[in-house]
Chain A
Amino acid sequence: NAGVTQTPKFRVLKTGQSMTLLCAQDMNHEYMYWYRQDPGMGLRLIHYSVGEGTTAKGEVPDGYNVSRLKKQNFLLGLESAAPSQTSVYFCASSYNGNVLTFGAGSRLTVL
């Protein structure tokens, strides 16, 4: 009963470094999402995918790239990290786009 698993849980980066956050779900869900949560801002959608091989931009896509090569995985990449990308990142998945199941979050600090 893993649900949605995010790795890593914590990461500290220096400005300009790159990294990838991995999201894996074992529920055979079609839809997957990446959100970021910042104080006073709630959850904001970065990118999402409605099926394997598809991706789309959300509210705040700049500075991020995503890939959905396998149905169960959704990767979020930062090519050149900036301090403004310090945040808690949540991955979510959904069977039909109606109810989201979230992972536990990945806390990223960019120095």
Chain B
Amino acid sequence: DQQVKQNSPSLSVQEGRISILNCDYTNSMFDYFLWYKKYPAEGPTFLISISSIKDKNEDGRFTVFLNKSAKHLSLHIVPSQPGDSAVYFCAASARVTGNQFYFGTGTSLTVIP
């Protein structure tokens, strides 16, 4: 049973516009969330994280929002660039029960020049 879900397999956005990638989770014990970016034939690379004590975290063009009541997080990329085209995974863990990260199925983002 998938505890972390990314319901949009793909997303296309024009260069310079905002990209919004969504992620839902079911386990209320999750308290730490990450986004990873993956290019073909490479391993995922860490992008940004957020703890459940926050509802927003920013790092340059990337912002992650967390809505605990809705068990939903989103990644905003502004402005989107062609180099952002990749597969994005969200991941969640419940740190009190160990260090297992559960990943979503990924969203493939294409930024059109």
The residues of A with any CB-CB pair to B shorter than 8 Å are 4, 31, 33, 35, 40-45, 48, 50, 56, 58-59, 90, 92, 94, 97-105
Contact = CB atoms under 8 A, between A and B. Distances in A.
B44 A42 contact: no
Interface of B: 2, 4, 6, 32, 34, 36, 41-46, 49, 89, 91, 93, 95, 98-106
Contacts of A105: 41-43
A101 B46 contact: yes
Given A98-B49, A99-B49, A58 B100 contact: yes
B34 A99 contact: yes
Given A33-B101, A100-B34, A105-B41, 17 more contacts: A4-B43, A35-B103, A42-B2, A42-B105, A48-B99, A56-B98, A59-B102, A90-B44, A97-B93, A99-B46, A99-B49, A100-B46, A100-B101, A102-B44, A102-B45, A104-B42, A104-B43
